[in-house]
Structure 1
Amino acid sequence: MDPDSGVILAQTAEGTAVALGLLRCGKIWFCPVCSAKIRHGRAEEITTAAVSWMERKGSAYLVTFTARHAAAHKLADLMDAIQGTRADKDKGTSRKPGAYQRLITGAAWAGDERRAANPEGVRGRVGYVGMIRATEITVSQENGWHPHIHAIVFVGGALASTLDGKKTVGDTFEPSPEALKELEDHFRAVWTRHLAKVDPAFTPSDEHGVDFKRLETARDAEDFGRYVAKIQDGHKSVSPANELARGDLKRGRHGNMTPFQMLGRIGDLMGGVLEDDVDGHGDLSWCLGKWAEYETAVSGRRAIEWTRHLRPLLGLVGGDTEDDDADLLFTEDGASEFRAGVQVETRAWHKVTGRALDLAATEAVEGHGLDLDAVAEVVTLAGASAASVRLLTPGEIAEAWESTLAKLAERREAAAARRKIER
């Protein structure tokens, strides 16, 4: 991030090591390292939103949307059906909505003030405020790709407009059982109808197509935040929030693999481990083919997305773009309390990574006591001078990190100005 500052290997209060000053790819779909950090941050954000809304006496629901799928179906086709197609400037095609977008469009949903029978629509009667959507994907040899959407739907809010035209939430209320039933019926009908129109084979069953679960307490909302983040480490107690955000750590059920589980299998098989000794299923050729299909199908799509205007309505800031994900990565990097660290000069760090010793250097910083000689030994083994490693105090770590972020912000502003001139 800053050639003058190099890399800082910092030790947290818990004894873990964090590498500060390195740019991240920020690929939530493709990188297990970046995905874990981004999804963790998103899960915290989702939990804050859900808890805040419930404390205001609003209501929230976890809704899961699923399409029927088979081994012969292409992931791209399924993603287009549920998430919509992407615009292609080269082909001159515009974006087309998927089943998800259809849920919150049309006269039945939005109402029509000119029609006395339905002036406010389902949206008004239930007090719809917005939703947070997270798309999850698993795959198996028997049933093929299984993309599905988890969403938190916020209802029970009376929306109003300020003098400058911005939306705001006035009072909250408890939607009637009839209105909630209408919401559920509307989602089921629209979701099923759109998928059937795209491909009759995608038509889900009444039992599995759309599933509603109400969050009853603030604790439910907190659990949902973790559930959305997908802390899927083999434990059965998965919270709802992690179900939405943490697709990076989830392990598929009933023989299904998540993409990162499949990626791990690819790595083990390429390393010579026997198929039967590796988690998951499928030979190397099958896994590589599925991973390539996965890359093409999800590239350019949002993994986690908020309804427009929902963040400010709930008193939150931020966004869902790749730049927002990058900012979240930097926030996560500097969120810990540091008690010690070392600074490695840029040229020395390039030699460390050139010899694939960056993990060894990071591990040398972990533990309850930082051993400067151990880090210097790794750097020396890489062919650099031990003098290129300097011990840092917690205050120096914070100062160096703030300086690096400031210089990064300056470069971003300069790049934005250049792009503006070019346009």
Structure 2
Amino acid sequence: MDPASGVIVAQTAAGTSVVLGLMRCGRIWLCPVCAATIRHKRAEEITTAVVEWVKRGGTAYLVTFTARHGHTDRLADLMDALQGTRKTPDTPRRPGAYQRLITGGTWAGRKASDGDRHRDREGIRDRIGYIGMIRATEVTVGQVNGWHPHIHAIVFVGGRTEGEKADKHVTEVFAPTDNALAEWQGQWRSVWTGALRKVNPDFTPDDRHGVDFKLLETERDANDLAEYIAKTQDGKQPAMELARGDLKSAGHDNVTPFQLLGRIGDLTGGVPEDDATGQGSLEWNLGRWHEYERATKGRRAIEWTRYLRQILGIEGGDTEDDDLDLLLAADADGGELRAGVAVTEDGWSAVSRRALDLATLEAAEGTDGNTDPEALGSRVREVLAHADVADTVVLLTSSEVAEAYTAMLEALALRREEAAARRHRENDDQDDDADRDDVQERARRHLARRAGTPQE
């Protein structure tokens, strides 16, 4: 995070250890380490959101969307059909089946000629009181049926809102009628299958498997009557179903992407095929992993409807920077820090090259029962001596650890602000260039018309 400060290996009051000051990749699709932390924090946010909405008297559904697929279908094509294509310099973004669900007059209602939306012109959105949803995309793959991307969404209904954008707020909570809910579910099933059929008829699911709705009901926790736990009808926690794709083992002879990665690690590490985790040859697993990397690039794994967070009072966001902030918060969330050691950037690089990261953490934990700061420093120096960098260690008290980490965070925030300002200036310069080119082109055409010369 801050090359001038290096990193800090600190011991918590609980006897565990933590490394502070390292930047993480934050790749929720690709990194098992970062994904576990990000998804855990996202699951906590989702649980808080569902509980908050149910406490207000609202209703929530867990809705799962799938497409028909075969072993010859490319993951990128399936993801485009579900989520939409990604914008490129040469092509605009094309909506997927998911975006089609919440567009059109049947869903959103139609305005009268005077611009007012009357009750008889309301859409399904108004009749069910839709306020937003949280979407998570999950991917599995098998040797027989190929890629199986699917979307889980928690949909919040039963609310009326006023205001626009950042000023939107809930004014009323109600129970949607059975007729309205049936109309909504029928509409979404029809739109989903129709959108997929339009992209590729082979992707069209049957009515039973394409879209599945589960009402989220509430139970009082036996140990704490003040807390509500939202559960689906089959007893699963909806937030975990939505966010913790890293914990899942795929069914129906499929594997998750991290199971692909696990088998790649086993096979390249010399584990016999019959003893390795997962399925398939090394070549098959590498091919599927590389395809997965390309197909998920630039896509959001978990995304909230815009302004839903503010409506429910949940802070944060869904960008890559927000994921990195979650990781930084998790690093510092290990409890009270007793003491630690600071290691220079060059020193930690040497530790990483020698694969002594884990040994350094174990030394800081004090497994011998001695938690004295001087003893901590001695244990860490002993490990780092194997990397010839023991002299880079500086012992820190608990207050010095906190001060150093605060300085690292401040330095990171400053670099982010500077980067954002630089991008803003670059965008402004590009806009100015485009405006100047447009003015020059209009002037050229005007002069050409006056001169009566042909225009190219």
Specify if TM > 0.5. Answer: yes
How far apart are 1:356 and its partner, in Å? Answer: 1.9
What's 2:206 paired with? 205
1:361 and 2:360 correspond: yes
Residues 1:224 and 1:270: Cα distance change in structure 2 (over 3 Å): farther
1:414 and 2:418 correspond: yes
Residues 1:223 and 1:246: Cα distance change in structure 2 (over 3 Å): farther
Cα distance between partner residues in 1 of 2:119 and 2:346:
72
Residues 1:389 and 1:411: Cα distance change in structure 2 (over 3 Å): same
What's 1:232 paired with? none
SS of alignment partner, residue 152 of structure 2? strand
Residues 1:274 and 1:237: Cα distance change in structure 2 (over 3 Å): farther
Select the residue among 366, 375, 379 that pairs with 1:374.
Answer: 379
Listed as ranges, the gaps of 5+ residues in structure 2 are: 222-226, 428-456
Residues 1:353 and 1:135: Cα distance change in structure 2 (over 3 Å): same
Kindly provide the CA deviation profile for residues 121-160 of structure 1, in whole angstroms up to 9, marking residues without a partner as x.
Answer: 1000000000000000001101111100000000000111
Kindly provide the CA deviation profile for residues 96-122 of structure 1, in whole angstroms up to 9, marking residues without a partner as x.
Answer: 111111111011100114397951110
Kindly provide the CA deviation profile for residues 219-278 of structure 1, in whole angstroms up to 9, marking residues without a partner as x.
Answer: 6997669x9xxxxxxxx9852211111112221112211101110110110111111101
Cα distance between partner residues in 2 of 1:95 and 1:110:
22
Q: What TM-score results when the alignment is normalised by the length of structure 1?
A: 0.92
What's 2:273 paired with? 275
Cα distance between partner residues in 1 of 2:96 and 2:71:
21
Kindly provide the CA deviation profile for residues 2-42 of structure 1, in whole angstroms up to 9, marking residues without a partner as x.
Answer: 12321111233443322110011111111111111111111
Cα distance between partner residues in 1 of 2:251 and 2:398:
44
Contact 1:224–1:244 (8 Å) recurs in 2: no
Cα distance between partner residues in 2 of 1:99 and 1:212:
17
The amino acid across from 1:27 in the alignment is R
The amino acid across from 1:26 in the alignment is G
Cα distance between partner residues in 2 of 1:223 and 1:145:
33
Contact 1:104–1:110 (8 Å) recurs in 2: yes
How far apart are 1:165 and its partner, in Å? Answer: 7.6
How far apart are 1:362 and its partner, in Å? Answer: 1.8
Deviates more, 1:407-416 or 1:152-161: 407-416
What's 1:37 paired with? 37
1:315 and 2:313 correspond: yes
How far apart are 1:83 and its partner, in Å? Answer: 0.4
Cα distance between partner residues in 2 of 1:343 and 1:182:
61
Listed as ranges, the gaps of 5+ residues in structure 1 are: 228-235
Deviates more, 1:364-373 or 1:291-300: 364-373
- What is the CA RMSD across the aligned residues, in angstroms? 2.2
What's 2:332 paired with? 334
1:61 and 2:66 correspond: no
- The alignment-based identity, stated in percent, is 60
Contact 1:133–1:304 (8 Å) recurs in 2: yes
Cα distance between partner residues in 1 of 2:238 and 2:66:
17
Deviates more, 1:280-289 or 1:236-245: 236-245
Cα distance between partner residues in 1 of 2:18 and 2:93:
40
How far apart are 1:369 and its partner, in Å? Answer: 4.5
The amino acid across from 2:246 in the alignment is D
Q: What TM-score results when the alignment is normalised by the length of structure 2?
A: 0.85
What's 1:156 paired with? 158
SS of alignment partner, residue 22 of structure 2? coil
The amino acid across from 1:46 in the alignment is I
Matches within 5 A, 1:220-299: 239-299=237-297
How far apart are 1:405 and its partner, in Å? Answer: 0.2
Contact 2:360–2:380 (8 Å) recurs in 1: yes
Cα distance between partner residues in 2 of 1:381 and 1:165:
55
Give the count of matched residue pairs: 410
Cα distance between partner residues in 2 of 1:138 and 1:166:
39
SS of alignment partner, residue 37 of structure 2? helix
SS of alignment partner, residue 275 of structure 1? coil
How far apart are 1:75 and its partner, in Å? Answer: 0.4
Residues 1:267 and 1:237: Cα distance change in structure 2 (over 3 Å): farther
What's 1:187 paired with? 188
How far apart are 1:414 and its partner, in Å? Answer: 1.7
Contact 1:222–1:241 (8 Å) recurs in 2: no
What's 1:72 paired with? 72
Cα distance between partner residues in 1 of 2:11 and 2:248:
28
How far apart are 1:419 and its partner, in Å? Answer: 2.5
What's 2:97 paired with? 99
What's 1:172 paired with? 173
SS of alignment partner, residue 183 of structure 1? helix
How far apart are 1:417 and its partner, in Å? Answer: 2.2
Contact 2:37–2:327 (8 Å) recurs in 1: yes
Find the structure with the greater CA-based Rg: 2
Contact 1:68–1:203 (8 Å) recurs in 2: yes
Kindly provide the CA deviation profile for residues 44-83 of structure 1, in whole angstroms up to 9, marking residues without a partner as x.
Answer: 1111111111111111111111111111111001000100
